[in-house]
Amino acid sequence: MSEFTIRDATDADLQSITDIYNAAVLERMSSADIEPRTLEQRRAWVDSHEPRSLYPVVVVQNADGEVVAFGSLSRYHERAGYDGVVELSYYVAAPARRRGVGTLLVSWLLDAARERGMRMATTLIFSDNAGSIALMRRFGFTLFGELPDAVHLPGINHDMSYWYLPL
């Protein structure tokens, strides 16, 4: 995977993060947003990951320096009893899929969670998103619930599956 590198996201990456996310919104297979998000909305999302030392937002660059994916660890819940549980999120640009980018990014995020002393990782995935479900199974995540007909998007509905991995 030497053709890809992972680094902390910067303000210069906001447009790429927004573009990758909005492509996912329009694909309707990995985001419950109905409309594309603005650059300022994505900036607010990045800025919500505080402290960044515990809740990183990272990008994956290809050998040409192009951002092809991004991911994060987010606070699972604001109540202190949940500290140590993180939500893992990742989005990969369509041209970079099936090239190991998702695997590289999820591996990095799980390592980062462990290094930060987190005790559990969680993620939410549309139940019909076979690629992400296969990736979670590869890393040993366990399905612990499903919310039927949870997401209604124009032209498609999704069940939501809930996954966890003890760290």
E strands, 54-141, are 57-61, 67-75, 85-92, 120-126
pLDDT on residue 15 = 98
Domain 5-166 classified CATH 3.60.110.10? Answer: no
Which of 153, 160, 159 is CA-nearest to residue 26?
153
Q: If you average pLDDT over residues 24-50, what whole number do you get?
A: 96
> Which pTM does this prediction carry?
0.95
Distance CA 46, CA 11 (A): 9
**pLDDT tens-digit series, residues 116-138:** 999 999 999 999 999 999 999 99
90 C-beta neighbours (distance < 10 Å), count = 21
End-to-end CA distance of the chain: 24
Domain ranges of the chain: 5-166
Q: Which two tokens stand for residue 37?
A: 């998000």
Write down the pLDDT at residue 59. Answer: 98
